[in-house]
Structure 1
């Protein structure tokens, strides 16, 4: 099962909540609190999914997405965005940048887990 997830969020509580729930669901989780840490981890390790807030310190937004997609190990890794920003223009820009889904904060952990599982199942049946 594809289950290595990188969580990128500057909010420690959200990081811990996501890590706890995803671990219980069988995912292997790494965390980053800012864009630079996320890029370092993505350059060293292959992930199956990246779950990223686009409002993190150092490197954020569309630049973070673009830089993650340039990494050798994760250029094809699906990115799911978690953010409190929900303007139509930003949603369109982020989706056009190639993310799999845009999840607005506050979010339900059940919905996040369901979306990740749905993606994994659809990816397995497509292979």
Structure 2
């Protein structure tokens, strides 16, 4: 059965996003974070659910529900502007956290390759 617009999967996705946001609000209350801004305006808020700041820098978080049956999940992220958002935030020196309920194998492999690369040129050539 396909997900209904605004149906159970939408509600689960919103609940998951809310739980992830509350987790970081608790970090601020516990003192390990300095601030949390949900749905910020301007370029800082482009493509992210919230901005979390701590002593070591700024993180932006994007939370999505992955469709388990979607073979083109990574391509759908391009269509939603996630890759462009990621790029602009990383270029600005922010850590970009993409959070999903289910693992995305292609993203995991891409992240692993990025961690093992010496620099951008070696990442792009492999």
TM-score, structure 2 length as denominator? 0.41
TM-score, structure 1 length as denominator? 0.41
